[in-house]
Amino acid sequence: MCAAVEAAHERRLLHRDLKPENVFLVRAGDGETPKVLDFGVAKALDAGEGMASQVDTGTGQLVGTLAYMSPEQLQGGPPEPAWDVWALTVIAYEMLTGAHPFSGTGRPAHAAVLAGACTPPSRHLGDDARAWDALFAQALGPDPAQRPASSRELLARFEAAAAR
């Protein structure tokens, strides 16, 4: 999934609606390959002449699925690749724990997202998951400078946490 999102970003294309329902597993030989689908609300970033978004929206309009939106997207900020990286991080958390990172925080989900109040994965996985706590505390935290800058960086951080 990270490679697909990275390829889209290299082509200056923002998906804007990454969620589990838009990722399919395709059997190929003995394995499965994830495929990112539904670029119906994708937006071309820095669109030059002749490049247009599938869905042309202005700043401040929400497009996508609320449960996978970054704080900046929820606040109506300008589109940026970090939105897709945030959504990938939420999906990775869900795949690892079986739960949404902002459920069970005691706050409404959007307030928890804006505050960076992610439920530590160790709450779902036990104390042996402290490396995951650190990864997701940064990657889903309130400071965008602490989050992975790309899906490639997210994958590297994920692999490093998995190796601990």
Q: Find the length of the chain.
A: 164
Catalytic annotation, pick one of 17, 30, 127, 128: 17
Average pLDDT estimate for 119-148: 93
> Any idea which architecture 2-56+63-163 has in CATH?
Orthogonal Bundle (1.10)
Average pLDDT estimate for 6-10: 91
> CB of 82 within 8 A of CB of 51?
no
Least confident of 61-65, 83-87, 100-104, 107-111: 61-65
Contacts of 49 (CB under 8 A, 6+ apart): none
* Element of type H or E holding 124: helix 122-125
Active site residue 17: yes
36: nearest Cα among 46, 25, 49: 25
pTM, 2 dp: 0.84
CA atoms within 13 A on the CB side of 123: 15
Average model confidence (pLDDT) for the chain? 85
The C-alpha angle with vertex 142 and arms to 88 and 123, in degrees rounded to 5, equals 70
